A and B are shown apart, each in its own frame.
Chain A
Amino acid sequence: MSVLIFIDTADGHVKKASLEAISYGAKVAEQLGTVAEGVVLGSVSDDLTSLGKYGVKKIHHVAKDALNHFDAQVFTKVIAEAATATNAKVIVFSNNLGGKAIAPRLSVRLKAGLVSGAVALPDTSNGFVVKKNVFSGKAFANIAVSTDIKIIALNPNAYQVIAGEGTAEVVALNAAVDTGKVKVTAVNKTSGEVVLTEAEVVVSAGRGLKGPENWGMVEELAKTLHAATACSRPVADAHWRPHNEHVGQTGFAIAPNLYIAIGISGAIQHLAGVNRSKVIVVINKDPEAPFFKAADYGIVGDAFEVVPKFTEAIKKLKGVA
């Protein structure tokens, strides 16, 4: 038996979320007294053997060109084959965009109970129970999985990447690959920027900034922190910022290590998208802003004065000014 980890790639590179999934899967394997194996689909340019340092012993690589385009239906069949080949009892995904498309399909295909959005290692003291976020981060649930095979989709940023020693053995897996029904006709990436849903630090601003022309200082702060930029819903609705920056209940849900909110009052709908952030800093001139109740650190003050000084102070800390 094994714990099988789906190692997700983009443009031939292993995603950071997958390193978390590998570290997590290796720990689950240790808990169950078995080995962690991985499966990679499509062409990769990264050195897969080096993933051994995160605890995966063997990687099954299905390097067929047809897998360079994502199609959940096609991917599911191949991963199911890898699960059978490795006699996998637990299959780990990152609950990222790809994981959210494949894990539910695989759950049906293998009739394996799925916990999506897991935030902790399974409790195997009595059955197999996995903690996950529910109610948009306002609560958690312990989900008991009763099937022989279990699938866990791990929330990004919920488990630390643990690097140790070791190399993984990479073997080719000759799985049957169907011709997919979904054709990819275009990929539009916002280049050179930090990806919002994967960012460790996010700098976000709201209506308190008064207009799109004032975003320069937000971008400067984000650049200094190597952070992604985000915004509140009214800002996106007013087209001050693109919709793909909108975080909150109806926008993206994020869970960075550090979330800095500037001029955002902190409506409950906004909090629902950011309350899984580890540390929250709020800068707002209104001391009554509800966001302060959800924050770890705060400054009551005018963003136009505070933010540039804050950026300078960080530059000084990092030794770049």
Chain B
Amino acid sequence: MKILVCISKTPDTTAKIAFTDNNTKFDVNGVQWIINPYDEWYALVRAIELKEADPSSSIHLVTVGSADAEPIIRKALALGGDEAIRVNADSHDSFYIASQIAEVAKQGSYDLILTGKETIDYNGSSIGGMVAELLDLPYVSLATKFELAGNKATISREIEGGEEVNEVELPVVVSSQKGMAEARIPNMRGIMAARTKPLKVVEPAAVDTLTTVAGFGLPPAKAGVKLVPADNVEELVRLLHEEAKAI
């Protein structure tokens, strides 16, 4: 089976969020970059587990980004990807990014395309659905479980107030979240092996962007916590009722 895992580079969860150039650019100064957690912990690790169950499988990674995305690609290879493709483009438009991934996918005739449920920076949750539509494939979103029997995938996905079990024949696009797999850390052998695994750089296809970021902003700072003495919960209830109008 051929699996394509879509990987995105995101700022570390604890990164300070600030903007430069008159609030039009994210301030990358001092930011640590990581593999988007949903891509890594759930999509990639599930792909690795599938390959462990069927060693004839191959895992290709794709990322759309500039050369500074390469350290996180190497880390993904260290975890267990076989080879990686970097589309040499920087964009924040999900249609543009999805179109580049779809171009890569067309070259590889993959049985399974996995993404994380969203990136923790732009929170679009859009890439999986867009890639599926571009390739005219079925799409199962927000998957919490993925099992494979031959050519048939059994996938649990989140619905409001529960879960739904879906059955679908490959090929399929699946977005992954908590439950799909447990996080792993790369071992030394994986890190050594990753240095020599193929990382191909391709130039982007000519694609329109549909949206642009006009500017960023930070939410207004919290006024500060109002502390209520522990022996006066009635006061907290009064504040929540009369002031916050929350109960």
Interface residues of A (CB under 8 A from B): 10, 15, 70-73, 76, 95-97, 100-109, 111-117, 129, 132-147, 180-190, 193, 195, 197-198, 201, 225, 243-244, 246, 249-251, 257-258, 268-269, 272, 278-279, 281-282, 292-302, 305-306, 309-310, 313-314, 316-317
A198 pairs with B160, CB closer than 8 A? yes
- Contact assessment for B225 and A296 in the assembled complex, using a CB-CB cutoff below 8 Å: yes
* Shortest Cβ gap from A156 to chain B (Å): 10
Chain B CB within 10 Å — which of A136, A140, A147 has the most? A136
Q: How far is it, in angstroms, between the C-alpha of A316 and the C-alpha of B230 when the chains are bound?
A: 18
Q: 4 additional contacts, CB 8 Å, given A10-B160, A268-B13, A306-B233?
A: A70-B164, A73-B133, A97-B142, A249-B120
Q: Is the CB of A104 within 8 A of B130?
A: yes
Chain B residue at minimal CB-CB distance from A16: B160
| Most chain A CB atoms below 10 A, which of B19, B154, B236 | B236
Q: Across the interface, which residues of B come within 8 angstroms of A15, CB to CB?
A: 160
Residue pair B138, A302 in contact (C-beta under 8 Å): no
* Given A190-B162, A306-B233, CB of A296 within 8 Å of CB of B226: yes
* B233–A313 CB distance below 8 A: yes
Interface presence of B41 (CB below 8 A): yes
Contact B230 A300 (CB under 8 A): yes
What residue in chain A is nearest B126 (Cβ atoms)? A104
CB distance from B210 to the nearest CB of A (A): 4
CB distance from B50 to the nearest CB of A (A): 19
Residue in contact with A243 in the complex, picked from B160, B179, B209, CB distance below 8 Å: B179
Q: What chain A residues lie within 8 Å of B137 (beta carbons)? A: 73
Contact assessment for B123 and A136 in the assembled complex, using a CB-CB cutoff below 8 Å = yes
Asked if residues A281 and B166 are in contact (CB atoms below 8 Å), the reply is no
Q: Which of B63-71, B191-199, B213-221 contacts A (4 or more CB under 8 A)?
A: B213-221
A143 contacts B237, C-beta separation under 8 Å = no
B199 to chain A, nearest CB (A): 27
Using a CB–CB distance below 8 Å, which chain B residues touch chain A?
Answer: 11, 13-14, 17, 19, 37-38, 41, 94-95, 98, 120-130, 132-134, 136-142, 154, 158-169, 172, 178-179, 208-219, 222-223, 225-230, 233-234, 236-237, 239-241, 244, 246-247
- Would you call A135 and B166 a contact (CB within 8 A)? no
Q: How far is the CA of A184 from the CA of B139 in the complex (A)?
A: 13
**Distance in Å: Cβ of A193 to nearest Cβ of chain B:** 7
Contacts A97-B160, A139-B217, A298-B227; is A144 near B141 (CB within 8 Å)? no
In the complex, A251→B117 CA distance in Å?
11
Q: How far is the CA of A182 from the CA of B143 in the complex (A)?
A: 13
Chain B residues within an 8 Å CB radius of A115: 211
A144 touching B212, Cβ below 8 Å: yes
List residues of chain B with CB within 8 A of the CB of A76. 133
Q: Is the Cβ of A104 less than 8 Å from the Cβ of B133? A: yes
Q: Which residues of A contact B14 (CB under 8 A)?
A: 268
